[in-house]
Amino acid sequence: MNTPTHVMLNALVLGRGRWLSHWLAISGGAVAPDLSMVFLFAYERVVRGTPERVIWSTRYFDPDWQLVVDLFNSFPLIGLGALVAWRLRATAWLAFFASMALHCVTDLLVHREDAHAHFFPLSSWRFISPVSYWDPRHYGWLVGPLELLLIVGGALVLFRSETRVWRRIGRGVLVATVVFIAFAVTNWAF
Ligand SMILES: [Zn+2]
């Protein structure tokens, strides 16, 4: 699933009640699993000068990079972090790890050949979902518009929040989505 969708979904699901004030932890946890992809892209593109197409078709599947990605998407490690946070009564960190877990649950449902080993290091098993968030041959044509609907609908909900920072997050996700679509259209479509 695309990163802005994670931020919106996690804000709607987790950013309420006692966790209303944990906007930073929830947004951070929603982004964290995808930071591995940012590292991968930045290193391959800037340091090694790998063409973008090769990064996602070949380098992404390199075992070393898969290890990095799996570390950031591991239910056992996230669970361990959550357990420590809970024991220490560190509620912000608990919200952070809960947000990471929710990100991974939603990713699990919409990844196919790019599925993560979510149970690393206990198991290298990957759930190959029948649904892909990007591949039109596997319902990507449906997931894309649904993600957009969730972002627009979610932004409308956040705009009505009494907390200023949540309203800002709603606006930020909306702007990020528009920028992302503009980038995708100008770079990938022809
Ligand atoms: Zn992800």
In this prediction, residue 55 carries a pLDDT of 93
d(CA 129, CA 133): 10
d(CA 21, CA 42): 32
pTM exceeds 0.75 for this model: yes
- Asked if pLDDT for residue 38 goes beyond 60, the answer is yes
Please, which residues have CB less than 5 A from ligand 1, an ion?
33-34, 107
In this prediction, residue 114 carries a pLDDT of 86
Buried residues in 60-83 as b, exposed as e (16+ CB within 10 A): beeeebbebbbebbbbebbeebbe
15 alpha carbon – ligand 1 mean position (Å):
19
Structural domain spans, the chain: 3-31+78-184
